[in-house]
Structure 1
Amino acid sequence: MTSPHVLVTGSSRGIGAAIASGLDARGARAIRHGSTPRAGTLAADLSDPSAPQRLWQAALDAAGGTIDVLVNNAGLFEANPLDRSDIAWLDGWEDTLRINLTSAAQLSRFAVRHWLERGVAGRIVHIASRAGYRGDSPDHWHYAAAKGGMLALHKTIARGYAAKGILSYAITPGFTDTAMAGDYLASRGGPGLLADIPLGRVATPDEIAAIAVFCTLDAPPSMTGAVIDANGASYVR
C-alpha cells in the first residue's frame, strides 16, 4: 500500500500515540482517535454504543472515503473488585467489555464490510493483552475476558476473510510503561511485580508500536491469524 489511511483508536496517548507517530514516520496517514475533543483527533466515547459507527464515518470522511487499515487499540483498564455492589460490579464489567471488545467488533465489522463492498484488501491489527491467555488479577476478570474475546474475534476474522485479501493480526503485550499500566503496577506492589518478568522490565510504548507498524505495513499475508507476544517472557506459550 502507498500512503495507506490507518484508523488508530485510542491514539491520543500511550501505545496508540506511539503507533500513530510510527505510522506517520513511515509515510502512512494515521487517523487519530480519542475519547475527548482534541486538535487533529476524532473524538468518540466508545462507551456509547452508537459511537463506533460515528467514528467510522468520521474517519472515512477524513480519509476521503477509503480506509486501508484499522488498528483496534482503544481500551479501558479499571479495577472491579468482587465486593462491590452487584450493580456497580455489573456496570464495571459492561463498560470494560463495551470499550475493549464490543466497540472493536463494531469497527471491525464496518471495516470488513467496507473492503468487501469495494473488492479490495484490508488489514486489522488488534492490540490485545497477555491477559487474554493467562488471565489477570482477581479485580480484573472483565479485562481478561475482553482481551480473550478480542483474540477469538481476530482469529475468526483471519480465517473467514483471508481469501478476500482481508488480513488480521493481533499483539498481546504484557505490562507496558503507560499511565494505565502504571496504576496497576502500583496497586500490585510496584517494582516487586517485575520479578515475574524475566526481561526485568516492562515494555515501552515504542516497542509495541514497532510491532503494530510492522503488522500494518510489512507483515506478509501468510502471517494472517498470528498472535505476537510482547511480554518480556513473563508468559511463554
Structure 2
Amino acid sequence: MTDTPHILVTGSTRGIGAAIADALTAKSVRFVGHGRADGPDTIGADLAQTGAADALWDAALARLGGRIDVLVNNAGVFEPIAVDAPVDEWQASWDRTMQINLQASADLCRRAVLHWRERKTGGRIVNVASRAAYRGDSPAHWHYAASKAGMVAMTKSIARGFAGEGILAFGVCPGFTMTGMAEDYLSSRGGEKLLADIPLGKVADPEEVANAVAYLALEAPPSMTGAVLDINGASYVR
C-alpha cells in the first residue's frame, strides 16, 4: 500500500481489539475502531442488532474520508448456554452469538468486497476466529465454536473467490488469550489444569495476537491469502 492505509477494526476498545488498535496505530495508519459508544477514534454500534454492521461501515467510511483499505473483524462474544437450558433461552443464545460473531462479520466483509470492487483497488480482510473453530469448545459453548468455524470457512471462501481482484482474506485463530474474558474462563475451568494442556505453559498475550493481525493487515504477501494462523501455544496443532 503506497498511501496511508485506512483501517476499520471492530471490538477495538478492550482485550485483543485494544492491542490490535495499538499495534496498528504504531504503524502510522489512519484508524477507526468500534465499541459500545462513540469516541474520538471509536464508533459505537451494537452488532447484536440487525443492520448495525452496515451502519457501522457507513459511519467508518465517512470518518475515513470515503475509503477503507483494511477490515479487521475482531468483535465477538463468548457466552455459555447449557444444553439443558429451556429451548427459548438456548435458541436466543445461539441467535445472539451467531449474529455478533458471524453475521455481523459477514455483513462487514460483504460491504468491504463491494467497496473494493467498485473502486477497483483491492483490499484486505483479517478475521479473528478461535482455536475452537478447529478443536471445538466446552459443552456450554457449541455456538461459539460453530460461529468461529463459520468465520474460518467464510475467510477461505472470500480468499478463493476474490483473489483475482486483489481482495485478500486472512484469519487468526487464538487459543486462550489473557484478556478479562479468558481470565474468567481459566479460573472457572481449573486454571493450572487447563494450562497443563498448553505445551508452551502459558496463554497468549493480546500483543502476540495483535502483532499477527497487524502483519496480515499490512505486510503479508498476497500469496498468503486464505491463510489462517494459529496462536495457541501448540495446544492444537493441525
The TM-score normalised by the length of structure 2 is 0.98
**What's the counterpart of residue 113 of structure 1?**
114
CA deviation string 1:61-98 (max 9, x = no partner): 00000000000000000111112111001111110010
**What's the counterpart of residue 76 of structure 1?**
77
Is residue 50 from structure 1 mapped to residue 82 from structure 2 by the alignment? no
Amino acid paired to 1:60: L
**What's the counterpart of residue 164 of structure 1?**
165
Is residue 13 from structure 1 mapped to residue 26 from structure 2 by the alignment? no
Q: CA deviation at 1:3?
A: 1.6
Is residue 65 from structure 1 mapped to residue 54 from structure 2 by the alignment? no
Tell me the distance in 2 between the aligned counterparts of 1:191 and 1:62: 45
Q: How does 1:91-102 map to 2 (within 5 A)?
A: 91-102=92-103
| SS of residue in 1 equivalent to 2:196 | helix
Report how many aligned residue pairs link the two structures: 237
Amino acid paired to 2:144: Y
Runs of 5+ consecutive residues of structure 1 not aligned to the other structure: none
**What's the counterpart of residue 203 of structure 2?**
202
Is residue 125 from structure 1 mapped to residue 126 from structure 2 by the alignment? yes
Tell me the distance in 2 between the aligned counterparts of 1:92 and 1:163: 38
Amino acid paired to 2:174: P
**What's the counterpart of residue 34 of structure 1?**
35
Q: 2:31 touches 2:41 (CA, 8 Å); kept in 1?
A: no
| SS of residue in 1 equivalent to 2:31 | strand
Amino acid paired to 2:187: A
The TM-score normalised by the length of structure 1 is 0.98
Runs of 5+ consecutive residues of structure 2 not aligned to the other structure: none
Amino acid paired to 1:136: D
**What's the counterpart of residue 138 of structure 2?**
137
Is residue 146 from structure 1 mapped to residue 161 from structure 2 by the alignment? no
**What's the counterpart of residue 212 of structure 1?**
213
**What's the counterpart of residue 174 of structure 1?**
175
Tell me the distance in 2 between the aligned counterparts of 1:24 and 1:41: 13
**What's the counterpart of residue 24 of structure 1?**
25
Percent of residue pairs bearing the same amino acid type: 58
Q: 1:34 touches 1:44 (CA, 8 Å); kept in 2?
A: yes
| SS of residue in 2 equivalent to 1:60 | helix
Amino acid paired to 1:23: L
| SS of residue in 1 equivalent to 2:7 | strand
CA deviation string 1:114-168 (max 9, x = no partner): 0001111100000000000010000000000000000000000000000000000
RMSD of Structure 2 on Structure 1 (CA): 0.8
| SS of residue in 1 equivalent to 2:178 | coil
Amino acid paired to 1:160: G
Q: CA deviation at 1:186?
A: 1.6
Q: 1:126 touches 1:154 (CA, 8 Å); kept in 2?
A: yes
Is residue 88 from structure 1 mapped to residue 89 from structure 2 by the alignment? yes
